[in-house]
Amino acid sequence: MDIINLCEQNSLVGQFMSEIRDKNLQQERLRFRTNIQRLGQIMAYEISKRLEYKTVGVETPLGVKQCNVLGDRVVLATILRAGLPFHEGFLSYFDGADNAFVSAYRKYFPETDDFVVHIEYIASPRLDGKTLVIVDPMLATGSSMELAYQALVTKGHPAHVHVASVVATPKAIEAVRQHLPQGQTTLWTCDIDDELNEHSYIVPGLGDCGDLLYGEKE
């Protein structure tokens, strides 16, 4: 499985990552959402370099020009709710893509301070032979991504899967390696943080991404 960490090279990704991590700047909710969208746009562009293209003749006012256009059939899938602005960033570049949505949440057990991930909802087109891009900002343990993938492939088996995150951990990366098809999966992230705390939140991470985007939930 290929793993691409965009922060390994200097680019505006580093600037946007510094802003979404900053606990003071995080109070500006619109800025936070915009930067998540920007990271989605940058990653969409990078992923586009690995897709298949076809040549078509485009008629201009003065003649015909051969242009390379996207040949892959792309499906953008996101895990609600934190994935929505990240997904919007991708969709603004892959504007002709089909879309899929999966609702996943952590169900906590207060007596043990443990949790399990539940899938409640899925809406997806057929995936057979298509390029599936699953976007989820925080790839902490990999459990949500594994279950989302298993839910999505009930709609068919894609030709290739791109897993896209803002922050990932080695534990989650290993889970993706184990549970998604080898040789047909590429993992993209803007940065990798090594630690998880006792609640399985990424450290240093950036906090609860969904709450920072939309406000705290009860």
Please write the tens of the pLDDT for every residue from 46-94. Answer: 999 999 999 999 999 999 999 999 999 999 999 988 899 999 999 999 9
* Cis bond before residue 33 (omega within 30° of 0): no
Q: What is the pTM of this model?
A: 0.91
User: Model confidence over 112-143: pLDDT tens digits?
Assistant: 556 556 677 899 999 999 999 999 999 999 98
CATH code, 109: 3.40.50.2020
Q: How confident is the model at residue 164 (pLDDT cuts 50, 70, 90)?
A: very high
Residue 58 falls within a domain, yes or no? no
pLDDT tops 80 at residue 109: no
Would residue 56 count as lying in a domain? no
Whether a cis peptide bond, with omega within 30° of 0, leads into 125 is no
User: For residue 75, is it within any domain?
Assistant: yes
Examine residue 105 and state whether it is found in any structural domain, yes or no: yes
Flag whether 63 is in a domain.
no
Averaged confidence pLDDT in the chain: 93
User: Counting every residue, how long is the chain?
Assistant: 218
Range of the domain at 101: 2-51+69-214
> Tokens 């109070």 identify what position?
27
- For residue 77, give every residue at least 6 positions away whose Cβ sits within 8 Å of its Cβ, in sequence order, or none: 99, 100, 101, 102, 124, 132, 133, 134, 135, 148, 152
Q: Which of 98-107, 114-123, 133-142, 172-181 is the least confident region?
A: 114-123
Report how far residue 71's alpha carbon sits from residue 53's, in angstroms, rounded to the nearest whole number: 4
> Does residue 108 surpass a pLDDT of 60?
no
User: 142 in a domain, yes or no?
Assistant: yes
Model pLDDT, residue 64: 98
User: How many domains does the chain fold into?
Assistant: 1
Confidence band for 200, pLDDT divided at 50, 70 and 90: confident
Domain assignment of residue 209, yes or no: yes
Question: Does a structural domain hold residue 57?
Answer: no
